[in-house]
Amino acid sequence: MPAAPVIRLAHLGKHYETRAGPVPVLKDVNLDIGPAEFVAIMGPSGSGKSTLMSILGCLDAPSDGTYVLEGRDVGALSRDQLADLRNRVIGFVFQGFNLLPRATTLDNVALPLVYAGVGKSERLATARQMLERVGLGPYAASFPDQISGGQQQRAAIARALINRPRLILADEPTGNLDTRTSQEIMGLLRQLNADGGITVVLVTHDPDIAAHAMRLVHLVDGQVAEDGPLRRRVAGSRAR
């Protein structure tokens, strides 16, 4: 990793306050993720994967330690500055797709541009382009409940990509999809990583999905238990 890391976590900790006292979820997590890396985070249920993703996505704040995103200490940013990071730097892909049910595919994909203050015609043109790119061109006017799960996830990826983010955070992106569709979605993510140079961080509990990544981080009880490259598969995929 020669370049400056996109993500640097130092002694990161997170606990939730309950009536019985603080419950630790993440403990002293140290992690550097460089540009154009493809990292899979695995771990058993309750190991803190999702919490870590929320913190990486600036949706939640750590209790201890620091999170530096592209050289900026996230802990020092205001609510609106965080919103701006989520809008321009980070793209989210969720397990449940999280499209707005009342909006068409096109409007869903264009929504981040609305918050970025882009004008209407440019917004719709860019969104259409992005839908073509994920193979959803014919479904621009469809509503989320009119298309399949795989198509919804493609639309969600198009939405995540529309503001040209440097980082894609995918939280169990294939959790609700069948095996074949899962492979398609993973292929799309890999393509973005390889061709677009976008850093991808993926949370999954499926080893077959994790195998698409270059690097595997294993989380156990809120701590990094293992962190290493997945050489063979990465080398194989790069060779093609």
Partner 1 sequence: MTMGPMLSEARQAMGANRLRTFLTMLGMMIGVGAVIMMLAVGQGARDFVDRSIASMGRNLFVVLAGSATASGVRLGTGNVPTLTVADAQALEELATVDAVAPILPGAAQIVYGANNWGTSVLGITPRFLDVRNWRLSAGFPFDDSDVRSAAQVTLLGHTVVKNLFGDEDPVGKTVRIGKSPYLVMGILAAKGQSLDGRDQDDAALIPITTAQRKLFGSQFQGSVRFMVVRAGSAEAMPVAERDMTQLLRQRHRLADGADNDFSVRNLTALVSTAAETTRTMSLMLGAIASISLLVGGIGIMNIMLVSVTERTREIGIRCAIGARTRDIRLQFLLEALILSVVGCLVGVFLGVAGALLVSAVARTAVVVTLSSVLMAFLVAAGVGIFFGFYPADKAARLKPMDALRYQ
Binding mask 35-64 for partner 1 (x = CB under 8 A): -------------------x--x-xx----
Considering only the stretches 110-118, 143-151, 174-182, 188-196, report the one whose residues sit in contact with partner 1 under the rule CB under 8 A.
Answer: 110-118
The CA-atom distances, in angstroms, between 6 and each of 3, 35, 158, 226 are 9, 6, 22, 20
Provide the residue type at 59 as one letter: L
What gap in Å lies between CA 65 and CA 167, rounded to an integer?
A: 21
* CA angle in degrees (0–180, nearest 5) for 215-173-120: 115
Residue of 4, 44, 73, 120 that binds partner 1 (CB under 8 A):
120
Within residues 148-177, the interface with partner 1 by CB under 8 A covers 159, 163
Rounded to a whole number of angstroms, the distance between the first and last alpha carbons of the chain is 23
What gap in Å lies between CA 234 and CA 240, rounded to an integer?
A: 10
| 115 lies in the binding site for partner 1 (CB under 8 A) | yes
Residue of 20, 71, 76, 80 that binds partner 1 (CB under 8 A):
80
Q: Which is nearer to partner 1, 42 or 93 (CB)?
A: 93
| 100 lies in the binding site for partner 1 (CB under 8 A) | yes
| 14 lies in the binding site for partner 1 (CB under 8 A) | no
Closest to 150 measured CA to CA, from 161, 141, 139 = 139
* Residue 95 CA from chain centroid, whole number: 10
Q: Which is nearer to partner 1, 29 or 214 (CB)?
A: 29
CA neighbours closer than 13 Å in the CB half-sphere of residue 201: 26
Task: Please give the residue ranges that form the binding site for partner 1 (CB under 8 A).
Answer: 54, 57, 59-60, 79-80, 83-84, 86-88, 92, 98-100, 102-103, 111-112, 114-117, 120, 159, 163
